[in-house]
A and B are shown apart, each in its own frame.
Chain A
Amino acid sequence: MTIHNLYIFSKNGTLLYYAEWNRLNKSGITKEEEAKLMYGMLFSIKSFVNKISPLDPKEGFLYYKTSKYTLHYFETPSGLKFVLNTDNASQNARELLQQLYRDVSNLFLIKNPLCQLNEPIQSELFKLKVDELFKKSPLFLSRTI
């Protein structure tokens, strides 16, 4: 089980934070372009899911799965979007994202008055805490070991 990478987007699509742990494939485009592509895809998936859903959706899109990886998606009511790529065997990645939002973002981001909302995150403490949280998680198992 591995965690590949993490994206955090703001309400209007700015990439707030990106971190990667085990990533073998580079998409061949710059990080900014990749973030825009990712956000665009998620935005389309959201409207796709809303239209195709036979019942009234509440949370909407949860995750998608391909042959090699799973993308987990968690959106807060305020529009903050968390995206986590893991391998297919990972369970409960959504809870991990909720935990990230509950513990880390609130404490080290929103309660930090020097942190500008809607701008990429600069806080070193936040980066440290995110890294710590994911490395502690049972989902995280680097293949280099």
Chain B
Amino acid sequence: MVIYGVYIVSKSGGLIFNHDHNVPRIENERVFNYPLDLKLRYENKKIVVSFGQKEGINVGHVLTAVNGNAVIGRELENGKDVFDLLEEPECFPLSLKFSRARMTTNEKIFLASMFYPLFAIASQLSPEPRCSGIEILEADTFRLHCYQTLTGIKFIVVAESTQSGIEILLKRVFELYADYALKNPFYSLEMPIRCELFETNLQTLLENVEKSGASSA
């Protein structure tokens, strides 16, 4: 029973609030000998695994550290290129640390605006007349619930597929939004929500729902 995150998307498709609740950290450190049995690739300013997943290091994981030194872009802190380093047999054995890439704020904004057209197309391609957009989207690792208010604001919760009581949770988040964000005189519509009361109340609500399901929501 885990809730991974809450997102609020404004009427025009911008991300106005996001809260990471319980995102698991997937990290693996392992000692490698020459030659490396992984294929690495440089993309989007990160070094990612492109082939050869094993022992918890999966395709798509990002190289974060070499021998405990953090990797920035494709270089180590001392300015040495990681790919050059991996070509030198005398540097081995090396301890490499990989982790699943975490979303940056920019990526979250990008994904929020990406969800907006998906929501609209889903209602356009409907085989039935007068259909809403996406309400539940399920993948094998999570389930996304979306609730759109009459005013067009979307509340999105990403949770484990087994988590119950999300419908009620979404309505409660809407209530909190109405109480603590909209009644705040310093909050202007369509702008990112930075209200402390809203965040603390949301945090308590999420913890309650995780602990005991829908009943306490």
Contact = CB atoms under 8 A, between A and B. Distances in A.
A144 to B, nearest CB: 15
B141 A25 contact: no
B129 A66 contact: no
B206 interface: no
Contacts of A64: 122, 134-138
B159 to A, nearest CB: 10
Contacts of A67: 131-132, 135
A69 interface: yes
Interface residues of A, number: 40
Given A37-B125, A51-B103, A62 B140 contact: yes
A59 interface: yes
A54 interface: yes
- Looking at chain A's contact residues, the main secondary structure is mixed
A5 interface: yes
Interface stretch (B63-71, B89-97, B111-119, B195-203): B111-119
A9 B60 CA distance: 25
Given A52-B144, A57-B140, A68 B122 contact: no
Contacts of A45: 118, 137
B140 A58 contact: yes
A140 interface: no
Contact of A54 (B125, B132, B142): B142
A65 interface: yes
Given A37-B121, A48-B111, A65-B134, A53 B128 contact: no
Interface residues of B, number: 39
A49 to B, nearest CB: 5
B54 interface: no
A58 B58 CA distance: 11
A70 to B, nearest CB: 9
B185 interface: no
A24 B131 CA distance: 12
Contacts of A58: 140-141
Interface string A21-62: 011110100000010011011001100111111111111111
B142 A66 contact: no
B216 to A, nearest CB: 24
Given A55-B26, A60-B140, A48 B115 contact: yes
A25 B136 contact: no
Contacts of B144: 52
Contacts of B141: 53-58
Interface of A: 4-5, 20, 22-25, 27, 34, 37-38, 40-41, 44-45, 48-69, 71, 85, 87
28 contacts: A24-B127, A25-B126, A27-B125, A37-B121, A38-B125, A45-B118, A50-B60, A51-B107, A53-B142, A54-B141, A54-B142, A54-B158, A55-B26, A55-B141, A56-B60, A56-B141, A57-B139, A58-B141, A62-B138, A62-B139, A64-B137, A64-B138, A65-B134, A66-B133, A67-B135, A69-B131, A71-B122, A85-B127
Interface of B: 4-5, 23-24, 26, 58, 60, 100, 103, 107, 111, 114-115, 117-118, 121-142, 144, 158
